[in-house]
């Protein structure tokens, strides 16, 4: 089981799911029409490290963060 958390303005409770790769997570999140508009603009982190590859293998307990567009300062 892994956890997906949504940061900042997405304002959605974390989701738990079974997934072997980020591609599995992507397929699952795309089922939620509220999320599809966010996904194309959002970056992704696994256990607080930014990632750029869908084929990364996930392990039990991994925490995936979805980061929407930012504006600090």
CA-wise closest residue to 32 among 2, 61, 64, 4: 4
25-44: contacts with other proteins (CB under 8 A): 25-26, 29-30, 36, 39-44
Determine if 15 is a binding residue for other proteins (CB under 8 A).
no
Size of the site for other proteins (CB under 8 A): 31
CA 68 to chain centroid: 10
51 near other proteins, judged by CB under 8 A: yes
- With left for phi above 0 and alpha for psi between -120 and 50, is residue 32 left, alpha or beta? beta
Query: Which residues are at the interface with other proteins (CB under 8 A)?
Result: 7-9, 22, 25-26, 29-30, 36, 39-45, 48-52, 54, 65-73
């Amino acid at each position: 089981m892994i956890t997906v958390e949504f940061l900042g303005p997405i304002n959605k409770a974390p989701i738990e799911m079974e997934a072997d790769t980020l591609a599995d997570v992507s397929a699952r999140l795309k089922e939620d029409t509220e999320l599809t508009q966010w996904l194309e603009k959002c970056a992704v982190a696994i256990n607080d490290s930014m990632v750029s590859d869908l084929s990364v293998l996930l392990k039990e307990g991994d925490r995936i963060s979805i980061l929407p567009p930012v504006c600090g300062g």
